[in-house]
Structure 1
Amino acid sequence: MFALPLTTDVELRPLDPWRADEFLANLDRAREHIAPWVSPSFVATDLASARAVLQRYADRWARDAGGIWGLWWQGTLVGGVMLVSFDTTQGVCEVGCWLEPAAEGRGMVSRAVRRIVDWAVRERGIQRIEWRTKPDNLRSIALARRLGLRHDGTLRQVYPGPAGRIDIEVWSVLADEWRARSDAGEHPVE
């Protein structure tokens, strides 16, 4: 196991299935806050479903098709980042995140996303990084902009939702754009 310090009090760590109890506790604190933005299949409601979510990501990692990492702030899991999809053959991945309200505004998600995107581009040869979000998720859109992603377009009525069909905005950054901005110090990997 590893713990990658992002700041003096924030660490990025693998979020393996054996951490299901911590993950469930984090989701319980974040549930109401993240429910409008994440897939219902992600928001586990008991220990078995929390373990199942983490096992799906562990299986993706084993297949080289995704992964999930937690953010520990002062020793407590408060959110995380994930490679929702990861395809080295096509050179495309999708990045995602979640965070409980008490941890917002500290820059930890942007630091963590920078780390995994930089790894995907520089170590694994990913050419296109995507960020998908609902059009009314203003915090997610602001993060995509801070990271240097561009709005590619909106997929209209992609998924059914409780209030009707849901639109999804697609944001992206290409590897050469990422490296140029990173090398220029515009989004250094802390």
Structure 2
Amino acid sequence: MYAISLGDDGAELCPLETWQAEEFLAHIDRGREFIGQHNALPDVVTDLESSRAFLRAYAEKAAADTGRIHGIRLGGTLVGAVILRTLDVRQGTAEAGCWLEPAATGKGLVTRAATALIDWAVEERGIHRVEWVVSVGNEPSIAVARRLGMTRDGVLRQSHLHRGVRHDEEVWSVLAPEWRARRRTP
């Protein structure tokens, strides 16, 4: 399996595969409450079988070229992930997302990992527009969208039902020409 270095701190970006379901579940368990504040993943991945099913769904997306999941490792330990929740090569659109367990926050890991994933989507798959959809209360994720050079397109009012409560979501995006221009600027 390959790993992409995310910097001098030993952080790496690696594909997550179905056979890693036990490790993935342990990661979700470590961050269950923290991740679950804005993300339904901890409500979906609750045991080994649901962990396998989640990773299998992304393996199927990868095989169909409709999505991807990559783990963020720090010192060899899985501490988070970045995803292309959707990937539509024909339309040239994708939706990226992320999560981290609490011990890994504040290190720039998501920004570095998302940069690598968006680079791949734009340069290798020809994606023209990458979206980042985030709960309005998720300030760390909004800060990542800003650091990625995304533009806030608008708010989807009460569009997301999470744990019985309707939440507004912000839609951020970056277009391929903007991404390339930003990447060329030191």
Q: TM-score range by the shorter chain?
A: over 0.9
The within-5 A match list for 1:103-122 is: 103-122=104-123
Q: SS at the partner of 1:71?
A: strand
Match of 2:5 in 1: 5
Q: How big is the shift at 1:163?
A: 4.7
* C-alpha distance in structure 2 between counterparts of 1:164 and 1:109, whole Å: 26
Q: Give the TM-score, by structure 1 length.
A: 0.93
Q: CA RMSD in A?
A: 1.3
Distance 1:98 1:42, change over 3 A: farther
Residue 106 of structure 1, CA deviation: 1.1
**Structure 2 matches for 1:42-57, cutoff 5 A?**
43-57=44-58
1:188: which partner in 2?
A: none
CA contact (8 A) 2:136 2:167 kept: no
Overall identity of the aligned pairs, in %: 52
CA distance in 2: counterparts of 1:154 and 1:61, whole angstroms = 29
Could you tell me which residue of structure 1 aligns to residue 21 of structure 2? Answer: 20
1: CA distance, partners of 2:11 / 2:162: 34
For 1:161 and 1:11, the matched residues in 2 are separated by 30
Checking the alignment, whether the CA contact within 8 Å between 1:68 and 1:80 is kept in structure 2 is yes
With over 3 angstroms needed to count, the CA separation of the structure-2 counterparts of 1:41 and 1:60, relative to structure 1, is farther
Aligned-residue offset at 1:43: 4.3
Matched, 1:123 2:107: no
- TM-score, normalised via structure 2 length: 0.95
Q: Is the 8 A contact 1:26 1:78 kept in 2?
A: yes
Aligned mates of 2:50, 2:163 — CA distance in 1: 21
Letter in 2 for 1:3: A
CA shift for structure 1 position 122? 1.1
Gaps of 5+ in 2: none
Query: 1:93: how far off?
Result: 0.2
CA distance in 1: counterparts of 2:44 and 2:32, whole angstroms: 7
CA shift at 1:162, angstroms? 3.3
Q: Is the 8 A contact 1:27 1:43 kept in 2?
A: no
